[in-house]
Chains A and B, each alone.
Chain A
Amino acid sequence: MGMRGYILRRAVQVLLTLWVILTLLFFLFRLGLPDPTLALVSEGLSPEDRMLVAERFGLERPLWQQYFIYLRNVISGELGTSFHYKAPVAGILGEKFLNTMVLMLPAILVAYSIGQLLGVLLAWKRGTRLEFTGVSLGLIFRSAPMFWTGMLFIMLFGISLGWFPTSGMRTLPYEASGFLDKIFTLDFLRHLFLPVLVIALYYAGLPMLIMRNTMLEVMGEDFIEFCKARGLSMRRIMYRHAARNALLPIVTQAAITIGLAVGGQVVVEVVFSWPGLGLEMLQAVRTSDYPLAQASFMLMAAMILVLNFATDLIYGKLDPRVVYS
């Protein structure tokens, strides 16, 4: 089986997983909330309106039929109407989804690139004070919860020193024609800096340590000696040859990190008031906005699946030994 077949198979797998998650959510919500229209009543819905809603969601039909109606709605992008905003959920979450991505992807990218480079450096400077400091700092940042470092950074860099804005994505008002316009501004980058730093510091420790450990193993192998014998500079050996071989475990770890980061993101968004999916979901939970909370969760799960899918492909590209089967 070739590359194409592999991709196809993985894609089907992703869809299946998504389906299972949707099913899980459906029953979870029906279990915890037997009559979703009840939650609507407090919003001033008359009994007649309630009937209408009930009809739209097919609430008077048997459970299995409701389930299929639910699946149909999700597939057609009809995620329901937010109780709070009284507007379709899909429209509200679309931009929040993008906001989350523009925070998370750079953060993980930074974490992994810096983490790896440092990892190589630590392996190289083995046994020195630098290595000790590096490993300790890595451990400390991995142990300090992100919301706490976030608060400390806001206190220090935002409030005391006034170097960076403390909340939100951009200074208002702004004039922009599209999403890209909104994010490629200096102002946006200034807002992005602190949250990215917090996330990156937290996640950089792991790739750094993995890189260091793998490097140490790789360096014991023959081909390094061979390179040395050829008279290549140490820097070149470390970064060109050894590091390349140590990349695989890091990519594996990155896939797992993405899953964790999507969840962990929530707390960073809260601390920095970043208008992303996580903040929106917390608000939804606080206002008992069931459709919004459910859809936010779905989107996050989908995000993880798609990103993992992407890492799988990268993994394949990196490791020639992987046969697509």
Chain B
Amino acid sequence: MKYDAVRFLWKTIRQDRLAFFGVAVLFCLVAIALLAPLVATHDPNEMNHRVEGTVFWYRDGEWVIQESVGEWTLNAVTFCYDGDTAFAVGNHGEVLKYSAGSWEKEEVPTTVHLQDVAFGENLVVVVGESGTILEKRNGEWIIVNTPVENELFAVSIAPGTQKALVAGTEGTVLRRLNDTWELVDTGATEDLLAVSFPAEDTGFIVGRRNVIFHYDGETLSRQMVMGFRDLYDVHAPTTDMALAVGERGTILHYTGTAWSAMYGPEARDLRGVRLIEEDKAVAVGSHGVIIRMDQGQWMREDTGYRRHLRGIDAFGGMLIASGTDPYVNSLARPSVDHWFGTTHLGRDIYSQVVYGSRAALTVGFLAAIMVAVIGTNVGLFAGYFKGRVDGLLMRIVDIMYALPLEPFAMILVLLSRPGLTIIIFAVGLLTWRTTARIIRSQVLSLAARPFVKAARIAGASDLRILYVHIAPNILPLAFLQLAVSVAFAITAEATLSFLGLGPPRIYSWGTILHEARLSGAWRTAWWWIIPPGVLIMITVVSVFFISRALEVLTNPRLGKR
């Protein structure tokens, strides 16, 4: 009665088109799991960042986001002459000029990060890293010699003049007088981050730890202001009013005599501000924050964009804001970069799904093998020895039937800790019950067959009869049970991982769905929900198809129809 079981299996499967499909799918999945690092496009744990030079326009009463102008942060932006021309500067020596409706790159003799730009009478000044100052005079960009190596963060030019103030790290302040730059003593060691220069004899400089300086055309004087927050920007349209914004939504207001704190509606950082009229202003900040003051009251304005904004400038009724710092590409829809989109932390879902096949298959096969081995042996012994052995084993099977799987796994996790091993053991230890029952009934009938009697008469030992004579006959059935167990184990693994009982940082399809639910984003992010579920489904269906073919094999009656 021996025959080549594997070859026979293969023949059966080849005849059944659905089973063939199932085997093909499983092979693909095994290949994907083995080659996951090659197949995946990203590290599944990487929070993918993006840098985009983005410009926000406010025209005719609404905000419009302009397509990215390049892959670098735009640190500052300024209108010049009129609303039709503007300059923007960014990292890696980027200087862009906007005119006639489009942005053009300017050729400049540097590649350092540029932090700020200001526009004055026949003069554009750009400042940046390592004491860099660029001037554009008569259509020509030139590098100016400066007496400092510090990073320069801000520049402002007094309207109608060529006088400028520049602020930088460690209390650095430079001023431009008669075409030359000179250092101004501040006595401060804090980094100075912004400057506003409304008139030749008035300037404001702000910086970290609530530092505020006033400039009177000659010297700087430090202002005593309550508070300790970093100030990121200051703007004074005239000499007697100014606004400064900073860390954690800090807003300070200057009314010609003193600075006072203002209540703002935002607790996140504010990076840029423009005071338009006495009681009208706009400020921008990280995560797309835009707030607007009207009649002295600040209100939040929601554009729906969540990119970080840095610079802002106003002209007439128009506003222009620039960004962006590197931002995490969270909840991105499927795209060329991210085939299945990204999670709320900017992780690549496609790569997670690819790596997830590893957990599913590992648990699926290991647990199923455990189930098949235990179940088959218990079935063999119970069916062959009958009597007490059978009674005892079948009682154990009865008990097993009373233990619910998911709760059992939860108890194991409670008593040790989450992990794939726990899941494998839970499935393996609990679900051999069905296999045992089915094998047992088959063995019961086999044991009564003549060839078993013949073996016994020939003096073969019980174990020999069991494993040499009977076992090969139940192999197809055992394979069928193995297949069913694989499907069951894969579903169980997904379920337990979905409950958060899987190992940390190892993605499985269940874990992906668990995270989607935890994040609260699943109600809208369909691209996060659908791929892992579909994969679970396809895998399990494939296994079902295979087991259906095997069923025909073990129960020829079904095949006849």
Taking a contact as CB atoms under 8 Å apart, the answer to whether B533 and A297 are in contact is no
Flag A100-112 by CB within 8 Å of B: 1 or 0 each.
0000000000000
Taking a contact as CB atoms under 8 Å apart, the answer to whether B533 and A28 are in contact is no
Query: Which one of B195-203, B264-272, B492-500 is at the A interface?
Result: B492-500
Q: Which residues of B contact A259 (CB under 8 A)?
A: 401-402, 404
Counting chain A CB atoms within 10 Å of each CB, the highest count among B403, B491, B558 belongs to B403
Q: Please, how many residues of chain B have a CB less than 8 angstroms from a CB on the other chain?
A: 44
A292 to chain B, nearest CB (A): 10
A276 to chain B, nearest CB (A): 12
Query: Which one of B154-162, B363-371, B535-543 is at the A interface?
Result: B535-543
Extra contacts, 5 of them, besides A28-B411, A142-B544, A301-B403 (Cβ < 8 A), are A143-B538, A143-B539, A151-B513, A151-B529, A263-B408
Instruction: Verify if B38 is at the interface (C-beta below 8 Å from A).
Output: no
Q: Which residues of A contact B495 (CB under 8 A)?
A: 145-147, 264, 267
**In whole angstroms, what is the CA distance A294 to B532 when docked?**
32
Chain A: interface residue count, which band? Answer: 35 or more
- The contact of B537 among A33, A140, A285, by CB within 8 Å, is A140
Instruction: Verify if A99 is at the interface (C-beta below 8 Å from B).
Output: no
Instruction: Verify if B434 is at the interface (C-beta below 8 Å from A).
Output: yes
Instruction: Verify if B561 is at the interface (C-beta below 8 Å from A).
Output: yes
Instruction: Verify if A213 is at the interface (C-beta below 8 Å from B).
Output: yes
Q: Please, which residue of chain B has its CB at the minimum distance from the CB of A271?
A: B517
Chain B residues in the interface with A (C-beta under 8 A): 395, 398-399, 401-408, 410-411, 413-416, 434, 487, 491, 494-495, 498-500, 510, 513, 517, 522-523, 526, 529, 532-533, 536-541, 544, 557-558, 561
- The contact of B561 among A216, A266, A285, A308, by CB within 8 Å, is A216
Q: List 12 A-B residue pairs with CB atoms under 8 Å apart, sorted by A's residue number.
A: A31-B415, A32-B414, A32-B415, A144-B536, A148-B513, A152-B533, A263-B405, A264-B405, A264-B495, A278-B406, A285-B413, A301-B402
Q: In the complex, which residues 69-103 of chain A have their Cβ closer than 8 Å to any Cβ of chain B? A: none
**In whole angstroms, what is the CA distance A144 to B406 when docked?**
17
- The contact of A145 among B410, B413, B533, by CB within 8 Å, is B533
Q: Please, which residue of chain B has its CB at the minimum distance from the CB of A290?
A: B414
Counting chain A CB atoms within 10 Å of each CB, the highest count among B399, B414, B537, B561 belongs to B414
Taking a contact as CB atoms under 8 Å apart, the answer to whether A21 and B523 are in contact is no
B25 to chain A, nearest CB (A): 12
Taking a contact as CB atoms under 8 Å apart, the answer to whether B544 and A263 are in contact is no
Flag A248-279 by CB within 8 Å of B: 1 or 0 each.
00000000100110111011001100000010
Given A21-B403, A213-B558, A256-B434 contact (CB < 8 Å): yes
Taking a contact as CB atoms under 8 Å apart, the answer to whether B498 and A147 are in contact is yes
A214 to chain B, nearest CB (A): 11
Taking a contact as CB atoms under 8 Å apart, the answer to whether B399 and A21 are in contact is yes
**In whole angstroms, what is the CA distance A296 to B408 when docked?**
11
Q: Which residues of B contact A155 (CB under 8 A)?
A: 522-523, 526, 529
- The contact of A151 among B404, B522, B557, by CB within 8 Å, is B522
